[in-house]
Amino acid sequence: MKIETKTCQSCKKDFTIEPDDFGFYEKIKVPLPTWCPKCRQQRRYAWRNERTLYRRNCGLCGKSAVTIYSANKPYKVYCNECWWGDGWDASEYGRDFDFTRPFFDQFAELQHDVPRMALLNKRSVNSEYTNHSGDNKNVYLSFAAFFNENVMYSTWVFHSRDCMDSSFVYEKGERLYEIIDSRTSYGCQFCLFLKDCSDCLYCYDCRGCNNCFMSANLRNKSYVFKNKQYSREEYLKKIKEYELSSFLTREGLNKEFQDLMEQNAIHRYIISERNVNSVGSLLYDCKNVHQSFEVTRGEDSKYVYGSIESKNCMDLYHVGLNTELCYELHGCTRVSNCQFCHLCYDNMNVMYSDTCQNSQNLFGCVSVKKGEYMIFNKKYPKEEYEKLKEKIIEHMKQTGEYGEFFPPQIAPVYYNETQGMFYAPMTKEKVLAKGWHWEENIPGTFGKETIKSASIPDKIEDVPDSYLGEIFACDSCSKNYNITQNELLFYRKEKIPFPRRCPNCRYKRRFDLRPLRKLWHRKCMCNNEAHPNHLSMGCSNEFETCYSPDIKEKIYCERCYQQEVY
């Protein structure tokens, strides 16, 4: 069996290319990677500005548009209406390839000339402030959101409605607030890892439950209060003891919930369900998926992060919805046989391209719509296209460019605008030392608040309508924020106190509660002597887990978890 160890040209650490990897690289005819998996993923992070939004005038119609590109970025940016319209043609920017120069240098010049889409947002209604999203109605400041209605301040939400401040709601969520990693749940608040639950508050790892409060590891339960069973009448009486519309009450409950997860809840070593021969975490209905995270219905894939329906792929980040035979992609959906692409939707046989849509057989193109047999945005006959493509690939092999994703040095967004600052944070000095870029003008105001946090009423019913015209300061980062009418109505309806933190800090709180995209080798922490085959010192099972050895939580192997929870 062929195994090769290489030294990453980015971090200088050794990494291994395994036997199955060779077969994939040979199938798509690319050379072996020269960056390790971790650095390859960070390189893709550096291209994803998911949630840093600006206002900028459209380069065609002149109207103000919401965009991920700050005004100081040297690009032409069109509002979505103009970008999709017939007022321009990407082939007008076509040019010949210069074989005396590196590919990436020429590609960067093409990026500067061809108009870019302000936001990646398709087929949506009244959802101007969304990115990496589509098929939404009345969705606001939400990202990676599809097929939703009336959703605000949320991330990676699908087929849901009337939700706010939630992350990774995979399907059919309704009336959810501060929910993380949920499926088919209704009327829940401040919960993690729910499935088929309703009217649950402050619950962790519960399934088929309704009307449960401050509890963990429940299955098919009702009227459970702090992991103790009550009658319906007793439970409702217990709940009434809490003034849930009070900010002070909720802060105390948040602290209690944190203690519950750290001290009492049992944590399964990885989140993995209905998988076959798969390694990673947050994997669902996968087969032969390895070293991957947050993947649903994946097959024969490796190093995939955030994907639904990907097959026979490697090194993907937020790619899916029917994707096959793809490598080194970011932000792409419904693509087949595509490699080294960024923000491309509904394509086939596309390589080294950026923001191309509904196209096939492209190489080195930018912002092409419904194109075919194009290189550097220039149209060619099929036979000439194939010959020139192979010639450019040979040139890229000589320059050491072929087989690698786009370098962060030519990314149209800067590192501190991207998801890299969440998953692989770096200081400005380290970013610049790598030759990457740093945005000095991140949007936001400070010190403009008209209402002090201490003056905000404790209970939501005491908050006046006049707050819709006021400015507030985040208790965490001091950044100014305001609220919308739909937001205030939601708080009142669901008895949720007025928020003291800005949307970004609320997102960061949810982000920090999720398991990391990394595996550690650990030993099961179960010491229940009643379990069969346990030694006097407890369970001897060891495993790869998404929970760091530094955390306080109780981490159990699959066997102990099943015996304790089910």
Q: For 102-128, what is each residue's pLDDT tens digit? A: 999 999 999 999 999 999 888 889 999
Q: Specify the pairing of strand 149-152 against strand 161-164.
A: parallel
Q: Specify the pairing of strand 54-57 against strand 64-67.
A: antiparallel
For the cut 90, the answer to whether the pLDDT of residue 348 exceeds it is yes
What is the rounded distance in angstroms from the CA atom of residue 6 to the CA atom of residue 128? 45
For the cut 90, the answer to whether the pLDDT of residue 328 exceeds it is yes
Per-residue pLDDT tens over the stretch 187-232: 999 999 999 999 999 999 999 999 999 999 999 999 999 999 999 9
Q: Which residue type sits at 426?
A: M
pLDDT of residue 89: 96
- What are the residues whose beta carbons fall under 8 Å from the beta carbon of 563, sequence distance 6 or more? 528, 531
pLDDT of residue 527: 87
- What are the residues whose beta carbons fall under 8 Å from the beta carbon of 517, sequence distance 6 or more? 41, 281, 293, 294, 305, 423, 546
pLDDT of residue 3: 83
Task: Output the average pLDDT for the chain.
Answer: 95
* Residues 364/352, Cβ–Cβ less than 8 Å: yes
* Residues 158/170, Cβ–Cβ less than 8 Å: yes
For the cut 90, the answer to whether the pLDDT of residue 529 exceeds it is no
* Residues 473/479, Cβ–Cβ less than 8 Å: yes
Structure tokens belonging to residue 272: 């993995």
Structure tokens belonging to residue 552: 């306080």
Residue in 366, 403, 362 with CA at minimum distance from that of residue 386: 362
What is the rounded distance in angstroms from the CA atom of residue 503 to the CA atom of residue 52? 12
* Residues 404/106, Cβ–Cβ less than 8 Å: no
pLDDT of residue 4: 87
For the cut 60, the answer to whether the pLDDT of residue 1 exceeds it is no
Per-residue pLDDT tens over the stretch 123-165: 889 999 999 998 999 999 999 999 999 999 999 999 999 999 9
For the cut 90, the answer to whether the pLDDT of residue 464 exceeds it is yes
Residue in 137, 260, 238, 139 with CA at minimum distance from that of residue 190: 260
What is the rounded distance in angstroms from the CA atom of residue 34 to the CA atom of residue 39? 10
* Residues 307/295, Cβ–Cβ less than 8 Å: yes
Furthest-apart CA atoms within the chain: distance in Å: 80
Per-residue pLDDT tens over the stretch 60-78: 999 999 999 999 999 999 9
pLDDT band at residue 531, thresholds of 50, 70 and 90? Answer: confident
Structure tokens belonging to residue 274: 């209905």
For the cut 90, the answer to whether the pLDDT of residue 171 exceeds it is no
How many percent of the chain have pLDDT more than 90? 93
* Residues 261/204, Cβ–Cβ less than 8 Å: yes
**Domain parsing of the chain, residue ranges:** 175-268, 272-407, 453-513, 520-565
pTM of the complete model:
0.92
* Residues 289/298, Cβ–Cβ less than 8 Å: yes
State the Rg of the chain over Cα.
25
* Residues 348/358, Cβ–Cβ less than 8 Å: no
For the cut 90, the answer to whether the pLDDT of residue 535 exceeds it is no
* Residues 153/142, Cβ–Cβ less than 8 Å: yes
Sign of CA dihedral 65, 69, 74, 77: negative
Q: Kindly report the number of other CB atoms within 10 A of residue 421's CB atom.
A: 15
pLDDT of residue 552: 84
Per-residue pLDDT tens over the stretch 5-49: 999 999 999 999 998 899 999 999 999 999 999 999 999 999 999
Q: Which residue type sits at 346?
A: D
Residue 312 sits at φ, ψ, to 5 deg, of 60, 55
**What secondary structure letter does DSSP report for 309?**
S
**What secondary structure letter does DSSP report for 543?**
E
pLDDT of residue 510: 96
pLDDT band at residue 321, thresholds of 50, 70 and 90? Answer: confident
